[in-house]
Structure 1
Amino acid sequence: MTKILYILSHPIQYQSPLLKKMAEQKNIDLKVLYLTKHTVGGIDKQFRKKINWDTPLFEGYKYEFVKNSSLKPAVSGSFWGLVNWSIVQKIRKEKPEIVIVHGWTYFTNWLIYFFSFLFKAKIWMRAESPLNQELKKRKIVLLIKKIALKFFLFKIIDKFLYIGTQNKNFYKYYGVNDEKLIFAPYAVDNNMFFSEYEKYKDKKNQLKAELGIPTNNKILLSVGKYMKKKNPLDIIEAFSLVKNSKLTLIMLGEGELRQKMEDKIKKDNIKNVILTGFINQSEISKYYAVADVLILASTIGETWGLVVNEAMNFGLPVVCSDMPGSAYDLIEHGKNGFIFKTGNIDELKQYIEYVIENEDFCKNAISLSLNRIKDFSYDVIVENINSSIS
C-alpha cells in the first residue's frame, strides 16, 4: 500500500469527491492536510457572505488541519497568506512515499517541497496554469520563471499532474518531459450531475414556471462570481444586443460587481435578466436543467472553468471565451459550442444568436457534450494515479 500525503490550502467542494475516491483504493493509504479552515463556515470575500456548502467536504477520507501562523492569513494568492511551520513536523512524522502539492503560490508550498525532498519523499505537483495565459506575461517575467522553475523547482518534482492541454503545454514550456506527466483532468462529480440531468431533463417547463419565466423563452445561463475575471458585464452587454424578446439571461453568483451589473441593467433598460445571488450546490442543477446554453466570458485568471464541465453533464452547448483551459479540451468549435475571442462582445453576441436560433445544433450538442465529459472524471484521475504508482 502506497502512503500518500495530499496537501491542500483549504477544503474545496470539487476536490472532496476525488479525495474520497482515492481513499477507497485498496493500494492507497491517503491522508489529507489542510493549511487553513478558509471556506469552512466563514466569510467568502468574493461572494461577500458567509458560505456553508451543503455538500459534504470531509466524508470518506482521513484529514487534518495544520496551524496557519501567517500574520495576514489568505488563500487569494498572497505568498505570506499561508505560513504553516508545523507542516515540516507533519511530513517527518507521517513518512509518506508520495506528497501531492497544489502549486507554488504560498510560502508553505516551498517549505513542503524543500522538506519533502530532504525527507526523500516523492513529490507530485498539481498546478492549473495554462500556457495561453502564461505567454501573455512580459518576457522578463517569463525568463525569471524559466530559471526558477525549469532549473530549480521542477528539478526536484517527480511527477506533474496536468488538468488539460493548456496546462500540459505550460509544463512542457518549462522543460518537463512527457514521462513525468500524468493526466489528472479537472473534473466535477459527473455521476451526481448526470443523475440530476436524468431527474430534471423532462421538467424544463415546470422549472421555468417556478422561476417565473415564460415557457417559450430560451434561457442563457452564466454561472460564476460577479468579479472582474469572469467578465459578467460583457455577458450582459452581449445579451442586450440580441434582438429577441423571448430570451432570458440567468446569472448565478454574487460578488463585488453586483452594483455595476444592476446599474447597467437599469441604465440600459435591459429586460429579462435574473441575478440570483449565491446558489448552493444542491440547487444549482435546476438552473443547468432549465438552460439552453451556458455562457463563460472569463479573461486571464480563469485557468479552467469547471462550470463548463457541469453544463456538459446536462448536454448543454457552451459559448466560451478563449482564455479558460476548458475551451481547448471540452468544446469542439461549431459542434457542441463556440469559442470567441475574450472581450469581443460582437462575436459573443453572434454565437448566442446562432445557438438559440438553431434547434438541430442544440440537439446534436447533447450527445457530443455528454460523451466528451466522460473523459474528464474522477475515475480517470484515480486510474492514472494508480497506473503511475504501480
Structure 2
Amino acid sequence: MARRLAILATHPVQYFVPVFRGLAAKPGWRCRVFVGCLHGVESPSYDPDFGVAFAWDCDLTSGYERTALTGWPLKALSGWRGVLAGGWAALRLLLWRPDAVLIYAYSPSFIATASLLLALARVPILLRADTSDEAYSRSAIKNWLRDAVLRRYYRCCRWILPIGAESYRHFLRLGVPPARLRTVPYAVDQAVIPPWAQEEPHQPQPDRLRLGYVGKFTPVKDPLIVARALDHLSAEERDRLSFAAAGDGPLLAACRAALEPLLPQLAFHGFVNQSDLPAFYRQIDLLLLPSVQGEVWGLVVNEALSQGVRVVVSDRVSSRHDLVLSSTQGWVFPAGQSRALARAIRLALQQWPWARRAHPTPSPQQLVAAVQEVLG
C-alpha cells in the first residue's frame, strides 16, 4: 500500500507547485495538497502591494491531488478566522490519515494552528518555512519572544528543510540538530521560466549597460534608492545606462519622476506575469534588488541568474549567501546606502560588456529528492 504524504500551504504558489507535482509522481507515495484558499488561481485577486488584481497565467492546479479547505480570501487565513480554518485543516488532514505532512511556513494563524494540532496528534511533520535572522530588524524584546516561540515550535517538527545557508544558521541557532536539517534553496518553475540557452542570439550593447528592476514598488523594496545612487554617478557614467522595470505599486510614480531627469532611456512595463518574464529579462543586463527588509530569499535573483543577467542585491537579500558568490553573479551592497549602490553599479560598468551566461540555479527536484530522502 502506498504511503501517504499530505502537504499543507496557504494557497498554490508558483514556486511550490513544481514540488507538488514532483512528489505526486514519486512511486510508492500518494500525495495530496491541502490549501487554505485558491488566491490568484481561479479568479483575479487583489494584491495591495502591486496595487492591481491579477491571476497567475501559469498552471497552478494540475498534476497533483488537491483540496481547497475554504473559499475565503488569503487575508482571512490570519487572526481568529485563521485559527478556525487551521482547526478545520487539521481535522481534514487527520481524516485523510497521512503518514507525514509537509508544511509550508509557520504563519499565518491558519498554518500555526493546524501544525500544532497535527503535532499533538503525533503526525510526523516536515517544515519548509521562510526563515531569516537578517531580513527584519526587531527590538531585543521581540527577538527574545520570537526565539522562545520558535524554539518550541521547531521541536514539533521531525525534519526541517531550510531554504538556504542563512536559514540553516537560523535553525542551528535555535537548537535544531544538524541531523534534522536538509538545506534545499528556493527554486523557480523552470517550465515557466526556462534557463536561457547559450545558443540563443544575444547582442550586447557595449556602450550601454541595461539596468532592471522586477517586483513591487513598496518601501521595503526601496526602489527610490536607485535614483539616489544614479545621482552619485557622473553624467558620462549615466550616459552608459538605461533602466527598465517590471512591477507596480504605490512608489511607482515617485520612482519614475526621480529617474526621468537622470536617465534618457526608461521603460516601465507595469505588472508582468510569469510567462512574460523571460522576455523582460532579455531586455536587461543587470538586475537591482535593493530591499531594506523582508527579503528572506529573493526569487528574482534565481530568475535573473538563470537568464544570464547579473545582479546587484542589498545585504538584506538572504539568497546572496547561496547565489551571489562572485562578480560573475553580481555584487552586494549595504541596504539603504545609495553611495554603496552607486559603487556597485560603477564596478559593473567597469566590467561591461561581459558574455551573457546563464548561471546554474536550484531546481525544484532538489526539494523532491530531499523529501524522499528523509521519508525513506
Structure 2 length-normalised TM? 0.90
**Structure 1 residue aligned with 2:49:** 46
**Structure 2 residue aligned with 1:130:** 132
**Structure 2 residue aligned with 1:173:** 173
Give CA deviations for 1:32-62 in whole Å, capped at 9, x if unaligned: 1111222232222222222121110111001
Give CA deviations for 1:218-239 in whole Å, capped at 9, x if unaligned: 2111111111111111123223
Matched, 1:239 2:241: no
Q: Give the whole-Å Cα distance in 2 for the aligned partners of 1:344 and 1:319.
A: 13
**Structure 2 residue aligned with 1:65:** 68
Q: Give the whole-Å Cα distance in 1 for the aligned partners of 2:329 and 2:99.
A: 42
- Superposed, which structure 2 residues align to 1:5-84 within 5 Å? 5-40=6-41, 41-67=44-70, 74=75, 78-80=78-80, 82=82, 83-84=84-85
State which of 112, 125, 132 in structure 2 corresponds to 1:110. Answer: 112
Contact 2:286 2:310 in 1 (8 A): yes
Structure 2: which amino acid aligns with 1:18? V
Q: CA deviation at 1:137?
A: 2.1
**Structure 1 residue aligned with 2:287:** 294
Q: Give the whole-Å Cα distance in 2 for the aligned partners of 1:132 and 1:359.
A: 31
Q: CA deviation at 1:132?
A: 2.4
Q: Give the whole-Å Cα distance in 1 for the aligned partners of 2:207 and 2:263.
A: 19
CA change 1:194–1:128 in 2 (3 A) is same
Aligned length: 368
Q: CA deviation at 1:264?
A: 2.2
Point out where structure 2 has 5 or more consecutive residues left out of the alignment: none
161-170 or 137-146: bigger deviation: 137-146
Q: CA deviation at 1:203?
A: 4.5
Q: Give the whole-Å Cα distance in 2 for the aligned partners of 1:107 and 1:293.
A: 38
Q: Write 1 or 2 for the structure with the bigger share of helix.
A: 1
CA change 1:115–1:21 in 2 (3 A) is same
- The alignment's C-alpha RMSD in Å is 2.4
- Superposed, which structure 2 residues align to 1:250-329 within 5 Å? 250-266=244-260, 268=261, 270-329=263-322
Structure 1: which amino acid aligns with 2:163? I
Matched position secondary structure for 2:339: helix
Matched, 1:381 2:367: yes
**Structure 2 residue aligned with 1:210:** none
Contact 2:193 2:277 in 1 (8 A): no
Matched position secondary structure for 1:370: coil
Q: Give the whole-Å Cα distance in 2 for the aligned partners of 1:216 and 1:286.
A: 22
Q: Give the whole-Å Cα distance in 2 for the aligned partners of 1:271 and 1:333.
A: 30
Matched, 1:193 2:193: yes
**Structure 1 residue aligned with 2:153:** 153
Q: CA deviation at 1:339?
A: 0.7
Structure 1: which amino acid aligns with 2:68? F
Larger RCO (alpha carbons 8 Å, 6+ apart)? 2
Matched position secondary structure for 1:32: strand
**Structure 2 residue aligned with 1:209:** none
Matched position secondary structure for 2:182: strand
Matched, 1:218 2:221: no
Structure 1: which amino acid aligns with 2:64? Y
Structure 1: which amino acid aligns with 2:34? L
Q: Give the whole-Å Cα distance in 2 for the aligned partners of 1:52 and 1:68.
A: 16
Q: Give the whole-Å Cα distance in 2 for the aligned partners of 1:8 and 1:169.
A: 24
Matched position secondary structure for 2:95: helix
**Structure 1 residue aligned with 2:162:** 162
Structure 2: which amino acid aligns with 1:319? V
Q: CA deviation at 1:103?
A: 2.2
Structure 1: which amino acid aligns with 2:317? P
